[in-house]
Amino acid sequence: MATTGRVVSVKFLGFLQRLAGHREASVEVAADATLADLLDALARSYGPAFASAIFRTPGDVHTHLRVFVNEEEAQVTDRIVTGGEAAQVAVLVVPGFEGGSR
Amino acid sequence: MTASDRWVASTCGLCYGTCSIRGHVKDDVLVKIEGNPESEIGRGRLCGKGVSGIMTLYDPNRVNAPLKRTNPLKGKGVDPGWQEISWAEALDEVAGRLKKVHDDDPRKLFIQRTTTNTSIRAPMMMFGAAFGTPNSWAAGGGLHCGNGAHLIGGIYHASWSLVPDFQHCKYAIYFGASKGHGAGHVACTNMQQAADARIRGMKLVVVDPMSNFASAKATEWVPIRPGTDAAMGLAMVNVILNDLGVWDAEYLATKTNAPYLIGPDRCYVRDADTKKPLVWDTGRGRAVPYDDADAAGLALEGEYDAGGVRARPAFARLREHVRQFTPEWAEGLSTVPAAAIRRIAREFATEAMVGSTIVIDGQRLPYRPVAAIYFRGAQGHKNSVHNCYTLELLNQIVGAADVVGGALGFNPVCYGHPETGKPWYEPKPGPDGLMVTGTWVAPHLPYPIPDPKHPESMSLGGLFPLGMFGTTMASRDQEELWTQFKLPYRPEIMLNYGANSLLSVGNSDTVAETLTRIPFVVSFEITLTEFSEFADIVLPDTSYLESLDSRPNVPFIFNHPAGQGQWSWPIRQPVVAPEGQRRQCADVLLELVDRIGIREEFNAIANTHLKLDGPHRLDFKTPYTYAEVCDRELKSHFGAERGLEWFREHGVISWPKRVEEVYWRPFLKVRVPIYWEFLVGLNAKAKTIANARGLTWDDAWYDPLPRWLPCPSHEVRDARYDLWGFYYRDTLHTNSFTNENPWLDEAARLDPYSYTIAVNAATGRRKGLRDGQEVWLESPHNRRVRGRVRLTETVHPDCVGVGGCAGHWAKTLPIARGKGIMFNDLLEVDWDHGSPVNLNLDTCVKLRIVA
């Protein structure tokens, strides 16, 4: 992922905090980066245990991973829209799967 | 109706069926419980347990204040020396210890909950995830009743389990199931639907070691040895495919992976560019990706050159594979006569009416009025995956899955209330075109399957991604296995909700030993049980009749009737106010969330787990009461005007089901696997990790085609142990929980079987046994339980059956104490008695009767 100086603030919730070793991090992303790009970068930074927690198989995000941008749940294919301010991204693995959406 | 004389709509909580009820309250005293006719969940009917809930509510031995242990010694029958303390004191200690563990390593928290009360599932799961622990289980649930059946239900029907389409089915076979004849999922509606089906003429064949609740009302009872269901099922599949030549080619080609080409390595042959599995297009005479829209017809048989190898469609491999399983072979294992297997297979195939259609609500749909239903009896074994996989193939080969008359997953598709379109979910295609459920219950989806990894949970679950829960949560050899796999922590705190794992898992000595290793145990209880003896703090919980929950029957794949009719979303609400210092567990958990400092996590999880929407989402940093969370969930689904207050008044909201929700299979482009190709890769990866840690491995359990694999009870060679023992669900009781209810106890004492050991009359006479005689049941591992014999024609001659999960010994349970039998005390809980593919526990045992 190319770095352009745009900074995203990432918060690790639940057990991801333990795997990341801290609760928050600042990550530089490309202008057109998606959340999937961000997750790839996080997996590279935090190693195989973190990667296997967020990816079901290499490159395929785990079904129970949830990503929030400014507290709104987002899809990993979404681009990181910052609205001029540093986006607050929170990542979390949920215990079970319920609901469903279109 | 006046304030002093009122009816309150709510839901039952004496089993996970969670039927809708209404309670008659006079002068703030609950005087009667009835079924709620306004709700589809029960339709006004209620079982014996449900009407008896009043006695559980007013149990004079309810816990009414927080209790603290004063005796540091823990063990079975050891008095904890309870001392009443204040809530403030209790929560200071609990929160302080949780905070310390959270800051150190959250995995050291072990969460345990009962399956009986569904309302605790979401709050506990959300709390566990917010805390950051992967260690949570249902105290034997899953090991006994679901690691196999729910997995297969999810893979094939996108549902927790399945039932016959009672409204249209003509021929159903139950393998160790009692749907519509006993307890469990939406029991009361199912009972009415099953009764109506009998009147309509549906034939029911029940394959079971014992003729009890379903068999008693069946057309035919087929006695079978426990754990051999796959043998009979494989022979039936063989007869149908190879002797009768019956299968639904269109269904198999379009709705399963039957046409996927399998190479010599037992894996899919894949397209070089897209990596998609290839199928053979008979129109163009070449291999194409499975989802090629131009394919004229997909081959199910033959052999082809594809991708540089000789390959055969999965269906051809299945058909060839099952030829070895003759009815005579199956008879030798199962004792079901070969002639009966052939006849039942023929009846099933004939009644399937492959190719027929029917018009429902103006839509022409496939009509396959047969269903093979499997549940606890077929699944409660080490070989549960292959049992359930085999039995499900009966539905799949004739196309009787989620079509009119067939086996229905209950409610895997919902398009929501007409005014809001919520709740909304449907299955969708996942990797290789195979179905991913639209909604689910357990910690992970049945499919797609994650890569196995070095386990970091107490259950070793990461290495066995097909299992929900594992034996090592409470096994004899847990420490040995944790050491073997270098588990980097040990549990330091257990948070228990209402479970009595001393009785519900396996032999109580093993479970007790595992509990004594946990330094601090907190338990939410309504009465003190055998488990409480191991707790350090007991917190007084409200009963279901004093509690609030916005989602007692959600998700709909768990506790909502299948088939045509209505959707109903009821709430649970307090019928009476709680007495003493009782507090609802969900509220206490929210207080702990704030004290530990995990509110941000909890609120984020609640937003996604409960599908909170728009203005009803929780702000990450704001504290909420559980009532506020419930209110927001209801408004998210049914609009701002239908929040908690609306539901308090009305109790339930209902709307009509659509035909494409009920009979969804023809409408959705999803496939299911008749060939488990994914097991080949899973086996290779998991085996590598396991072998590196010295765990022996048998590839047979990961065969991509079904087979019969023996359980430990099938391999006992000592001829003195000449009988198979099993337990069955007694409709009068739920787990070990309701034994303390005096009305249900009275009914159980009047019932000839509830508290006795059912022995085949001829077998018993041969052994010189008489009715009422006290005997020991003894396992090859020298475990013993004592009970009274009941001679009967209704149990297989090679078997003894024990009802329910009784045999309490706690002095705090004066009604239940000393009654019935704790069959589980005969069960080993260790690696050898668990499945190496889905971690299911073997719940049958070879035994002998000692007079």
β-partners of residue A8 are A27
In a domain, B466, yes or no: no
Q: How confident is the model at residue B91 (pLDDT cuts 50, 70, 90)?
A: very high
pLDDT value at position A95?
A: 62
In a domain, A76, yes or no: yes
Amino acid at B557: I
Tell me the pLDDT tens digit for each residue of B305-329. Answer: 998 999 999 999 999 999 999 999 9
B468: nearest CA partner in chain A: A96
- The CATH number covering residue A42 comes to 3.10.20.30
Tell me how many domains chain B contains. Answer: 3
Cβ distance of B611 and A99 shorter than 8 Å? yes
Tell me the pLDDT tens digit for each residue of A59-94. Answer: 888 888 889 998 989 989 988 865 666 678 888 877
Average per-residue pLDDT for chain B: 96
Q: Which of A12, A15, A70 to mutate to test the interface with B (most CBs of B within 10 A)?
A: A15
Chain A contact set for B489 (CB, 8 A) = none
In B398-487, where does DSSP find H-type helix? 478-484
pTM for this predicted structure: 0.96
B334/B710 Cα distance (integer angstroms): 11
pLDDT value at position B445?
A: 86
Tell me the pLDDT tens digit for each residue of B402-427. Answer: 999 999 999 999 999 999 999 999 99
pLDDT value at position A2?
A: 45
Of B143-147, B651-655, B712-716, least confident by mean pLDDT is B143-147
For B703, the 3-state DSSP assignment is coil
In a domain, B725, yes or no: yes
In a domain, B274, yes or no: yes
Question: How many Cβ atoms sit within 10 Å of the Cβ of residue B22?
Answer: 24
In a domain, A57, yes or no: yes
How far CA B514 is from CA of B10, B151, B458, in Å, comes to: 37, 27, 12
Cβ distance of A63 and B607 shorter than 8 Å? no
Q: With left for phi above 0 and alpha for psi between -120 and 50, is residue B384 left, alpha or beta?
A: alpha
pLDDT value at position B116?
A: 87
Average per-residue pLDDT for chain A: 83
Structure tokens at B405: 């008359």
Q: Where would I find the beta strands (DSSP E) of B381-478?
A: 407-409, 428-429, 435-436
Of B130-144, B426-440, B613-627, least confident by mean pLDDT is B130-144
Domain with B35 in it: 1-59
> Cβ of A77 under 8 Å from any chain B Cβ?
no
Of B59-63, B521-525, B554-558, least confident by mean pLDDT is B554-558
Mean pLDDT along residues B765-777: 97
pLDDT value at position A1?
A: 46
Domain with A76 in it: 6-93
Question: How many Cβ atoms sit within 10 Å of the Cβ of residue B359?
Answer: 10
pLDDT value at position B752?
A: 95
A77/B366 Cα distance (integer angstroms): 37
Cβ distance of B107 and A15 shorter than 8 Å? yes
Tell me the pLDDT tens digit for each residue of B247-263. Answer: 999 999 999 999 999 99
pLDDT value at position A101?
A: 54
In a domain, A74, yes or no: yes
Whether residue B296 has pLDDT greater than 70: yes
Tell me the pLDDT tens digit for each residue of B141-195. Answer: 888 888 899 999 999 999 999 999 999 999 999 999 999 998 788 899 999 999 9
B609: nearest CA partner in chain A: A98
Whether residue B24 has pLDDT greater than 80: yes
C-alpha closest to that of B678 among B393, B388, B373, B314? B314
Whether residue B803 has pLDDT greater than 80: yes
In a domain, A101, yes or no: no
A98: nearest CA partner in chain B: B439
pLDDT value at position A3?
A: 46
Whether residue B796 has pLDDT greater than 70: yes
B371/B61 Cα distance (integer angstroms): 45
Give the ipTM.
Answer: 0.90
**DSSP letter (8 states) at residue B537:** E
B745/B736 Cα distance (integer angstroms): 12
B489/B85 Cα distance (integer angstroms): 31
Contact B320, B229 (CB under 8 A): no
Chain B contact set for A96 (CB, 8 A) = 125, 440-443, 609
β-partners of residue B524 are B497, B539
In a domain, B267, yes or no: yes
In a domain, B478, yes or no: no
Mean pLDDT along residues B256-283: 98
Whether residue B626 has pLDDT greater than 70: yes
Count of A-B CB contacts under 8 Å: 112
Contact B608, A64 (CB under 8 A): no
C-alpha closest to that of B713 among B382, B232, B475? B382
Mean pLDDT along residues B586-604: 97
Tell me the pLDDT tens digit for each residue of B678-699. Answer: 999 999 999 999 999 999 999 9
In a domain, B800, yes or no: yes
Whether residue B545 has pLDDT greater than 70: yes
Structure tokens at B528: 């003190």
Interface of A with B in 34-73 (CB under 8 A): 49, 52, 56-58, 60, 62-64, 66, 68, 71, 73
Residue with tokens 């079924």: B35
Contact B36, B570 (CB under 8 A): yes
Mean pLDDT along residues B817-823: 97
Choose among B105, B136, B436: nearest Cβ to A18.
B105
Chain A contact set for B451 (CB, 8 A) = 52, 56-58
In a domain, A80, yes or no: yes
Cβ distance of A98 and B448 shorter than 8 Å? no
Question: How many Cβ atoms sit within 10 Å of the Cβ of residue B609?
Answer: 21
Output A15 or B240, whichever has higher pLDDT: B240
Contact B20, B186 (CB under 8 A): no
Give the per-residue SS3 of A45-71: HHHHHHHHHHEEECCEECCCEEEEECC
Cβ distance of A63 and B424 shorter than 8 Å? no
Amino acid at A66: R
Contact B156, B672 (CB under 8 A): yes
Whether residue B786 has pLDDT greater than 70: yes
Cβ distance of A63 and B423 shorter than 8 Å? no
In a domain, A102, yes or no: no
Residue with tokens 């008044």: B649
pLDDT value at position B87?
A: 98
C-alpha closest to that of B400 among B353, B446, B360? B353
pLDDT value at position A60?
A: 86
Same domain, B745 and B676: no
B573/B590 Cα distance (integer angstroms): 18
Same domain, B729 and B677: no
Same domain, B328 and B183: yes
Tell me how many domains chain A contains. Answer: 1
Q: How confident is the model at residue A102 (pLDDT cuts 50, 70, 90)?
A: low
Cβ distance of A13 and B604 shorter than 8 Å? yes
For B87, the 3-state DSSP assignment is helix
Contact B604, A91 (CB under 8 A): no
In B519-596, where does DSSP find H-type helix? 556-559, 585-596
In a domain, A47, yes or no: yes
- The CATH number covering residue B765 comes to 2.40.40.20
Rg of chain B in Å (alpha carbons)? 26
Same domain, B675 and B743: no
Rg of chain A in Å (alpha carbons)? 13
Same domain, B792 and B841: yes
Cβ distance of B134 and A15 shorter than 8 Å? yes
> Cβ of B96 under 8 Å from any chain A Cβ?
no
In a domain, B803, yes or no: yes
Mean pLDDT along residues B832-841: 94
B104/B442 Cα distance (integer angstroms): 27
> Cβ of B159 under 8 Å from any chain A Cβ?
no
Contact B70, B83 (CB under 8 A): yes
Same domain, B800 and B673: no
Same domain, B677 and B776: no
Q: Which of B108, B133, B620 to mutate to test the interface with A (most CBs of A within 10 A)?
A: B620
In a domain, B543, yes or no: no
Whether residue B597 has pLDDT greater than 90: yes
In a domain, A1, yes or no: no
* Preceding omega of B448 cis (within 30 degrees of 0): yes
